[in-house]
Amino acid sequence: MKNFKYIIALFTLIGFTSCSNDNETYATNGETIFRTGVNIHGAVLQDISQSEIKKVHGCANCHGDNGKGKFRGGGDKQTGSITYYDLTNTSIYTPVYNDDLIKRFIDSETKSDDTHANTGVVYVMKETDKIDLINFLKTL
């Protein structure tokens, strides 16, 4: 009977530790933001009240695991590539993005050509989070 209690306690513990793992983190803060929309400290970087999409999204949800863009929800429009390599490629974006223009996009959904995009998600990020994210985009 005593052993039985220990076994129950053990399973409860395993249950708790696996549940508290909901906020997945990756090797760097930038990659964690890219994949989850939450930074490595657990802060949600999406302004949920301003976002049309209320579920927390990382960039990868809409731009693909490799950032190269993907078709969303059976739609016929593909999101653009947001690898740093492509964002700074003259044959893809005119004018090309640089670090400051990527930061501006994150802050205000303003594209490099000054037009407004509608992505459904509004982010509020600290400068350090933006820098970490951009550094990750450079690795893609």
State how far the Cα of 108 lies from the Cα of 124, in Å rounded to an integer: 9
Q: How far is the CB of 19 from ligand HEC (least distance, A)?
A: 25
Beta bridge partners, 18, equal none
Minimum CB distance to ligand HEC, residue 112 (Å): 5
**Max Cα-Cα span within the chain:** 72
- Interface with ligand HEC, residue 130, by CB under 6 A: no
Q: How far is CA 93 from the centre of its chain?
A: 21
Q: Is the Cβ of residue 32 or residue 79 nearer to ligand HEC in the bound state? A: 79
Instruction: Give least dist CB 22 to ligand HEC, A.
Output: 18
**40 in Cβ contact with 49 (< 8 Å):** no
Q: Does 120 bind ligand HEC (CB under 6 A)?
A: yes
Q: Which stretch binds ligand HEC (CB under 6 A): 7-15, 17-25, 117-125?
A: 117-125
39 binding ligand HEC? (CB under 6 A): no
User: Helices marked H in the chain — which ranges?
Assistant: 2-19, 29-36, 59-63, 84-87, 99-108, 127-137
d(CA 47, CA 38): 11
In the region spanning residues 53 to 112, those forming contacts with ligand HEC, defined by CB under 6 A, are 53, 57, 59, 61-63, 79-80, 82, 93, 102, 105-106, 111-112
Q: Which residues bind ligand HEC (CB under 6 A)?
A: 53, 57, 59, 61-63, 79-80, 82, 93, 102, 105-106, 111-112, 117-121, 123
